[in-house]
Amino acid sequence: MALLPILCYPDPRLHTVAKPVSEVDARVRQLVDDMFETMYEAQGVGLAATQVDVHERVLVIDVSDERNDPRVLINPELVWTSEEMILGDEGCLSVPQVYDKVPRHARVRVRALGRDGQPQEFDADGLLAVCVQHEMDHLLGKVFVEYLSPLKRNRIKSKMLKKARDGA
């Protein structure tokens, strides 16, 4: 296993649309393992392959307090979303120490392949539903700050660029 470097906003590679995984093979399983190690090390609850500069439709999630409920979603798709929306604070490993409110569907149904390449489908609500939607946005080349006003987004961009220049 290996820790992977996480791209930081406003890196243009974060806006790359991920391609579907054609086969869940040893390379993809190794990527999944490395992504879990990276996510846990960074204290995150989700990580999309896009964030580690791999532009394939792969994400890993673990929203459990004990860090013992890892979920692998390969080629995920939302097959149902609730009309009810929730507004909660979101953060992102690619936008460290920045949190803001983003509207998300309260409940979703997700279909994806697992680490073993087998299809799975499940319903999610609460933090899991938010995390799935957040990570799936990454696969579309979208970062959560894009839901914010242009003023907020520009402030965050300036702050992140300054942090990168200062080597923080």
Residue 109: count other Cβ atoms within 10 Å of its Cβ. 16
Omega before residue 20 within 30° of 0, cis: no
Residue 19: count other Cβ atoms within 10 Å of its Cβ. 11
- Active-site residue (options: 37, 90, 135, 146): 135
Residue 55 labelled as part of a binding site? no
One-letter identity of residue 111:
R
CB of 77 closer than 8 Å to CB of 113: no
Residue 51: count other Cβ atoms within 10 Å of its Cβ. 30
One-letter identity of residue 144:
F
Furthest-apart CA atoms within the chain: distance in Å: 45
As a whole number of angstroms, the distance between CA 33 and CA 115 comes to 9
As a whole number of angstroms, the distance between CA 31 and CA 1 comes to 9
Task: Reply yes or no on whether 135 is catalytic.
Answer: yes
- DSSP letter at 67 equals S
Residue 134 labelled as part of a binding site? yes
**What are the residue numbers of the active site?**
135
Binding annotation? 92, 134, 138
Binding annotation for Fe cation? 92, 134, 138
